[in-house]
Amino acid sequence: MRFLENLLQKILLFNFKKPHPQPLSDKEGSICLIFTPLSFGEGLGVRFSLKLSLFITSLIISLNIELSAQNSLPTAFKDITKESGIKHQFQVYEGFLGGGACVFDFNNDGFDDLFLTGGMADDILYLNNKNGTFTNIYQKSGLTGTKNFVTQGAVSADVNRDGFVDLYITTITSKGAKKLIPRAINLLYLNNGNNTFRDVTKEFGLDKLNSFSTGACFGDFNADGFPDLYVGNYFTEYPGDLSTINDAMIASANQITEGYLLINEKGKAFKNVYQDYGLSHKGFGFGGVFTDFDNDGDQDLFVNHDFGYKRTPDLLLENQSPWNSFKDVAPQLGMDLKINSMGTAVGDYNNDGLMDYFVTNIRFNKFMVNQGVGKPFLEKSQELGLGMMTISWGANFADFDHDGDLDLFVANGDLNPNCTPIADYLFDNVNGKFIDKAREKGLNDYGIARGSVTLDIDNDGDLDLLVVNQKPVLDFPTVSETHLYRNDSAHGNWIKIALKGLEAETRGLGSKVEIVVNGKHYFQEIDGGGSSHLSQNAPYAHFGLGNANKIDEIIIHWTGGNTQTLKNQKVNQLITITEEKSNTNSSIIPWIAIGVALLGGGLFFQKRTLK
């Protein structure tokens, strides 16, 4: 076995420019292959190296399968894709882009449903049958207008506050005759409340926004209770084949574009206010995520940009509420990441009350640890055991084993059509350090992964995983299809907390949930999408509690300023918390404070003048 490992190592070093810096073996009796492949031009041009890489990888995967069979112990996660009825494979349009999933309960039955984008293939709407299986109801759902577009990602929110969750889908172009400039409208569908949707793209004023869009996220940045949108756009035009994108093209590109900042006009329309809010940044956008990084009660925005080292780095846009403005504070806080930024996982990994951000990338991912208001973020990927070289897209913080700390799943995949297999990661949080246990736990799939989401398919209290995989453009040595993994490993206690907003967004998107257990505080934000690549996790807070048998306090920090506390709650339950209406309109409080300050300053100045 050691002889074979050494031989493969020498072959890889000879044939590939950037082999993985770690040894090929991650555990005695197991062989792993993870390396950065050749660029698009090289990968397509050097046929011998490509075929050799596929042969080597096929051999390694076959050996891993054989070794796994010899040690066939039950894994923590069980692949239930077939038995659950999931059948999906994202089909790319020329290049590497696309593959998102959205978790939402569109029929309000208390079970997580799924929408999966298909790219050149049909999208899929999966209804949860409440027995561990799903039924695809796309054809009768009213969503079939998406067949005309190359879809990318999807997010959900109750756009018109009618109690049913609606769906926004990003696209890069329309199907049919190839356009000289690939672009198209994005699509908004309102939920009819009967398992069907209607297309309101034109009705909401979105039919004039033609773009090459990637990821989107919902938030409520003006705190009026109506969910707003940020949409990442990649470029305004590109004359070549998308499979030939490379650094040289990016360096000379002048067609990068702005994102959309779409304000919700009371559930009737969306208006693009990007420039109105003081923004003029252009970049190769991969979406973003609304998050309150500075704990001031309003929603800020972190924006992912591809090719940040050649063009525009990532942005951290601080909400200047009550003024209608965002300010980029990324440079002074060390968040202007000059990387190929693909997606962001949001979580408070060290339980200090500050949101931290894991940002996926080509080569090395970034773990940005929040140090507090006004202080630069610290990049701690190497220190915390996350310094692997890879190509990552989706990422998800969750306490998968219910031991009381956040673990991290990372979806990896090559730049299709290079088609070199790369295994996914599952990093177990062990005393604040992360250890990859994907193979041990049954999650080291070698497909071309993109978006990934957490959900609880069977309402048993632990979080399961769905990982979107692309169809390989070239020959591929293993199956690359979307996988659904059921979590069978969590044994500690837990709590799931769903929100029902009355003044805040109806599902509490962007609100912060705090729990206190044995004097220790834990925090999570309700996901509005964009956390993970082109995808949206289930919109509730989930906490693993270990052996704790009681929750001392649950504190909800609602978007808009309301705070609500519940005491002495039981463990192992889903609790839905309905917002208590405030006696004061919280949206005018900042203006009252400003007025008092100005009045006080005026009186002080007048007093000094009279003297």
Mean pLDDT of 193-218: 97
Give the model confidence (pLDDT) of 207-258 as tens digits: 999 999 999 999 999 999 999 999 999 977 555 555 555 665 555 556 788 9
Residue 225 corresponds to which tokens in the numbers above? Answer: 């209770």
Which region among 36-45, 300-309, 332-341, 465-474 has the lowest average model confidence (pLDDT)? 36-45
Contact between 529 and 155 (Cβ < 8 Å) = yes
Strand order of the β-sheet with 493-500 is: 541-546, 493-500, 574-578
Amino acid at 124: I
Q: Which residue has the higher pLDDT, 442 or 73?
A: 442
- Which residue is associated with the tokens 């020498």? 10
- Which residue is associated with the tokens 């919109």? 539
In the chain, where are the structural domains located?
A: 77-491, 494-578
Q: Which residues pair with 452 in a beta bridge?
A: 467
**What's residue 605's pLDDT?**
44
Residue 15 neighbours by CB distance under 10 Å: 16
Residues 6+ apart with CB under 8 A from 569: 495, 550, 551, 554, 575
Mean pLDDT of 338-367: 97
Q: Torsion angle of alpha carbons 176, 179, 185, 191, nearest 10°?
A: 10
**What's residue 327's pLDDT?**
98
With 0-12 / 13-18 / 19 or more C-beta atoms within 10 angstroms meaning exposed / middle / buried, residue 351 is middle
Judge if pTM exceeds 0.75.
Answer: yes
What stretches of 296-403 show up as alpha helix (H) in DSSP?
Answer: 330-333
Q: Is the pLDDT of residue 64 over 90?
A: no
Give the model confidence (pLDDT) of 257-313 as tens digits: 899 999 999 999 999 999 999 999 999 999 999 999 999 999 999 999 999 998 899
Q: At what angle do helices 2-15 and 47-70 cross, to 10 degrees?
A: 160
**What's residue 490's pLDDT?**
81
CATH architecture for the domain at 77-491:
7 Propeller (2.130)
Percent with pLDDT over 70 in the chain: 80
Mean pLDDT of 374-400: 97
Residue 469 phi, psi dihedral angles, 5° rounding: -120, 145
Residue 104 phi, psi dihedral angles, 5° rounding: -155, 155
* Nearest one of 291, 457, 441 to 377, comparing CA atoms: 291
Q: Is the pLDDT of residue 53 over 60?
A: no
SS (H, E, C) 268-293: CCEEECCCCCCCCCCEEEEEEEEECC
**What's residue 250's pLDDT?**
59
Contact between 78 and 488 (Cβ < 8 Å) = yes
Percent with pLDDT over 90 in the chain: 74
418: confidence class by pLDDT, cuts 50, 70, 90: confident
**What's residue 247's pLDDT?**
61
**What's residue 531's pLDDT?**
85
Query: Could you tell me where the beta strands, DSSP code E, fall in 481-581?
Result: 483-487, 493-500, 512-517, 520-525, 541-546, 551-557, 563-569, 574-578
Q: Which residue has the higher pLDDT, 33 or 535?
A: 535
* Nearest one of 398, 441, 406, 405 to 423, comparing CA atoms: 441
Q: Is the pLDDT of residue 63 over 80?
A: no
Q: Is the pLDDT of residue 3 over 50?
A: no
State how far the Cα of 25 lies from the Cα of 581, in Å rounded to an integer.
57
State how far the Cα of 333 lies from the Cα of 282, in Å rounded to an integer.
20
State how far the Cα of 41 lies from the Cα of 536, in Å rounded to an integer.
33
Summary mean pLDDT of the chain: 86
**What's residue 351's pLDDT?**
96
What stretches of 46-175 show up as alpha helix (H) in DSSP?
Answer: 47-70, 81-84
Q: Is the pLDDT of residue 534 over 90?
A: yes
Question: Which helix (H) or strand (E) segment is 451 a member of?
Answer: strand 448-455
Query: Could you tell me where the beta strands, DSSP code E, fall in 320-438?
Result: 326-328, 344-347, 356-359, 362-364, 366-369, 378-379, 389-398, 407-412, 425-430, 433-436
Q: Is the pLDDT of residue 409 over 60?
A: yes
**What's residue 261's pLDDT?**
98
Strand order of the β-sheet with 464-470 is: 77-79, 483-487, 464-470, 448-455
**What's residue 27's pLDDT?**
35
Q: Is the pLDDT of residue 571 over 90?
A: yes
Under DSSP, is residue 580 helix (H, G, I), strand (E, B) or coil? coil
Give the model confidence (pLDDT) of 498-515 as tens digits: 999 999 999 999 999 999
Contact between 268 and 204 (Cβ < 8 Å) = yes
Give the model confidence (pLDDT) of 5-33 as tens digits: 334 433 433 343 333 333 333 333 333 33
State how far the Cα of 73 lies from the Cα of 509, in Å rounded to an integer.
40
Contact between 426 and 438 (Cβ < 8 Å) = yes
* Nearest one of 73, 39, 74, 32 to 56, comparing CA atoms: 32
- Spell 140-175 as b/e; 16+ CB within 10 A means b: ebbbeebeebbbbbbbbbbbbbeebbbbbbbbbbbe
Contact between 192 and 198 (Cβ < 8 Å) = yes
Tally DSSP H helices, then E strands, for the chain: 8, 36
Q: Which residues pair with 258 in a beta bridge?
A: none
- Which CATH number is associated with domain 494-578? 2.60.40
**What's residue 251's pLDDT?**
54
State how far the Cα of 270 lies from the Cα of 300, in Å rounded to an integer.
19
Q: Which residue has the higher pLDDT, 469 or 595?
A: 469
**What's residue 178's pLDDT?**
78
